[in-house]
Amino acid sequence: MRNFGIFVAALCLLFSGIHIGKSDEQGDASERSLRLLNTSVFGRSTDDAIVLLEPKRPGAIDPETIMVDVNDGLYFAATVDYPKESGFLNARQALNARYGKWEKASFASNPTMGLWRNEVQKFVIQLTEDDDNLQIIYIKFSMVSEDQWLKGFARALRALDSEELGPESVESPETNEATQ
């Protein structure tokens, strides 16, 4: 029976040590850096082997989802979602560590959205959050025509309207043209 007590005590120490070691190494999610998109993928062909994320640093938070956009066989945009627990300010700090000189001053203190415009590499970054995720959108603006921007904004506005008014309010483009 005495050996059993020693065994239980040893297990308690072992598990408490693992827990303490893990929390010390990784820390609270809101204090850890994010693993950002590797923006060198923009302009690359979909036939090329690519690496979507920057190299991982210890404790960095990986995205939950990554959606990439392709135009004429080339990557030009990406939407990257992180767990909301990562923290909006933490995400802003991660982006500023990499792209700080391009942060738009008018959004620098905005608590709900961040905006960066990298004039050298010709892409923009938008940081927002919703009920479930932190979302970072990257768009290589030098690869998008004015017509594509307008179509994209029109789709985004329809999506926003549908969220505000409900799914029954969304008209397809065919329905909208038929009523005009």
**Sequence ranges of the domains in the chain:** 1-27, 32-144, 145-180
Q: What is the pLDDT of residues 78-121, one digit of tens each?
A: 999 999 999 999 999 999 999 999 999 999 999 999 999 999 99
Q: In whole angstroms, what is the distance from residue 168 CA to residue 16 CA?
A: 53
| Mean pLDDT, rounded, for 43-52 | 96
Q: What is the pLDDT of residues 132-154, one digit of tens each?
A: 999 999 999 888 777 876 777 67
Given this model, what pLDDT does residue 162 score?
72
User: At residue 23, does pLDDT exceed 90?
Assistant: no
Tokens matching residue 148: 């594509």
Is the pTM value of this prediction over 0.85? no
Q: In whole angstroms, what is the distance from residue 149 CA to residue 147 CA?
A: 5
Phi, psi at residue 163, to the nearest 5°?
Answer: -70, -40
Is-contact 169 162, C-beta < 8 A? yes
- The DSSP-derived string for 47-95 is TS----BPPPPTTPBPPSEEEEEEETTEEEEEEEEEEGGG-HHHHHHHH
